[in-house]
Structure 1
Amino acid sequence: MAFALIQAASRPFLGTGETVDPYAPPTAAEADRAAAVLRSDYERWSRWALGVVAFVVAAGGGFIAAGMVASLSTPGRVDAVDVIVTLIAVVIALAGSTLLVALWWTGRALTRAASYWLRAPYVNGQRAPRAAGWVQARTVNLEPRILVRLLTVALALLVAVGGVAVFIRDLGAGVSIFTVPALLVGICGALSGIGQGGGVLRIVNGLSAGDPLWSWLTRSVRAR
């Protein structure tokens, strides 16, 4: 079976509130099924692995391309091989970046819809927040498919900090051929970490509808 960024089973549930009849809201069982399908699609190991590969390709290609450009800009003879390597690195970096954007865009659609369906039974009054919801909203981060994403979010943000730190250091100590490449890798890490972290947060936000403490806090804030 060919890999799809969004599986066919998920597409009927992507419309969220825009396609739901307000006079015939979905039942709690229907909402649970929709949320399960969407979460299963988003949390596939293959999506996560593809994202890791895309990040390595984008960051690595960008680092090499920027480094080669910086090297070629120094006085000296420009070798045809260097130009070819630079062009190949640019193409690789663009391919990885395109894949990262596609994963982010489709992941955003899946997690937004999943969050809606997770909250739907509580919003429609079909289910009341309870203690089990408080537990689930917190232990979801320990589920393997979520936990591994949190780990790669942390690693991506560490890469971002490292890349930006090298860039800032070089601004004071002297610009080198690694200054711009490090910044590009840092930007790639920051965007990747923020993008993937946003997907996890949307799922947690959906589950928080079943948390009585969070529901009470949100009602209190809205009442002010």
Structure 2
Amino acid sequence: MSFHFVLPDSRPLLAGPTDGDGRTPGDPIRQLRRDYDRMSRVGMGALAILALVPFGLVATIGVPLMGGRLTPFDIAMAVIGAIALIVGVWILIRLHRSGRRILVALSRLLREPYRSGALPRTAAGWVNARTVNFEPPVLTRIITSSLLGLTGLIGLGIIAYPGFSQAPSLYTTLVLWGAACFLTAAGQMGGVMHLVSGVAEQDPLWVRIRDSLRRS
């Protein structure tokens, strides 16, 4: 089964209403949530950031910077590593861009009925805006982005750790992988916040606080 960054059924929904009377057929919110919630997206991201990117960094930067004479095997691994690194970064960028498109459309659809007055904001909206964080697909992303963020900070923190500059191969590899982890965590957590922001439109308390802050 092939992987799609955006499911075919979701593509028409990213541009807004598609049929003649201005309504999107089916249940667009459920379809976009199904697209975003796919664990295959998490798995593809894990493959990229935990396997392809670190292997590519070690093979293309870590080994050559060790200072020894490169053997034909090292050169071959560097070529393979460069391909793995490019593919890994490409996957992460595509996941980020496709996830952003899905969540922008989803957030718009979640907000629309409450902003237009078609649905009232109730106390249940306050509950929904908070319990969405505990839904398994969302909670998984919160946990993984937190772990990646911590890993990224540790990797970037190597810059200030004395002694590692004497091992340039390890130093450079860890710092670059730390930066990749931190950026991936920021993108993943940003997606969660985008979703929660859309759901929060049904929360009357949050809307009052937000509007009062905007007026001040």
Check whether TM > 0.5. Answer: yes
The whole-number CA distance in structure 1 between the counterparts of 2:2 and 2:156 is 38
- Residue in structure 1 matching 2:156, options 151, 164, 179: 164
2:12 paired residue number? 12
CA distance change for structure 1 residues 173 and 10 in 2, over 3 Å: closer, same or farther?
Answer: closer
1:46 paired residue number? 40
Give a deviation string over 1:87-143, Cα, whole Å, max 9, x none.
211111111111111111101100111111010101111112111111111111100
1:89 paired residue number? 81
> Does the 8 Å CA contact 1:63/1:182 hold for their aligned counterparts?
no
2:165 paired residue number? 174
1:55 paired residue number? 49
> Does the 8 Å CA contact 1:150/1:197 hold for their aligned counterparts?
yes
Segments of 5+ residues of structure 1 without an aligned counterpart are none
The whole-number CA distance in structure 2 between the counterparts of 1:137 and 1:97 is 33
The secondary structure found in structure 2 opposite 1:162 is helix
The whole-number CA distance in structure 2 between the counterparts of 1:193 and 1:81 is 34
TM-score (norm 2): 0.90
- The one-letter amino acid paired with 1:12 is P
Segments of 5+ residues of structure 2 without an aligned counterpart are none
> Does the 8 Å CA contact 2:121/2:203 hold for their aligned counterparts?
yes
TM-score (norm 1): 0.87
Give a deviation string over 1:43-94, Cα, whole Å, max 9, x none.
11111111111111113322342211212xx2x5332221111121111111
1:137 paired residue number? 129
CA distance change for structure 1 residues 42 and 166 in 2, over 3 Å: closer, same or farther?
Answer: same
- The one-letter amino acid paired with 2:64 is V
Provide the alpha-carbon RMSD of the alignment.
2.2
Is 1:183 equivalent to 2:175 in the alignment?
yes
The whole-number CA distance in structure 2 between the counterparts of 1:31 and 1:183 is 48
- The one-letter amino acid paired with 2:198 is G
> What fraction of aligned residue pairs are identical, expressed as a percent?
32
Give a deviation string over 1:135-175, Cα, whole Å, max 9, x none.
111111100011111111011111101111223214x6533
Give a deviation string over 1:20-42, Cα, whole Å, max 9, x none.
89xx875xxx6992221111101
The whole-number CA distance in structure 2 between the counterparts of 1:2 and 1:82 is 33
2:194 paired residue number? 202
- The one-letter amino acid paired with 1:42 is Y
CA distance change for structure 1 residues 77 and 58 in 2, over 3 Å: closer, same or farther?
Answer: closer
Q: How many residues in Structure 1 have an aligned counterpart in Structure 2?
A: 213
The whole-number CA distance in structure 1 between the counterparts of 2:95 and 2:152 is 19
CA distance change for structure 1 residues 164 and 154 in 2, over 3 Å: closer, same or farther?
Answer: same
> Does the 8 Å CA contact 2:56/2:85 hold for their aligned counterparts?
yes
Is 1:126 equivalent to 2:118 in the alignment?
yes
The whole-number CA distance in structure 2 between the counterparts of 1:31 and 1:115 is 18
The secondary structure found in structure 1 opposite 2:6 is coil
**Where in structure 2 are the equivalents of 1:137-156 lying within 5 Å?**
137-156=129-148
CA distance change for structure 1 residues 156 and 31 in 2, over 3 Å: closer, same or farther?
Answer: farther
- The one-letter amino acid paired with 1:110 is I
**Where in structure 2 are the equivalents of 1:61-76 lying within 5 Å?**
61-71=56-66, 74=67, 76=68
The secondary structure found in structure 2 opposite 1:55 is helix
> Does the 8 Å CA contact 2:164/2:171 hold for their aligned counterparts?
no
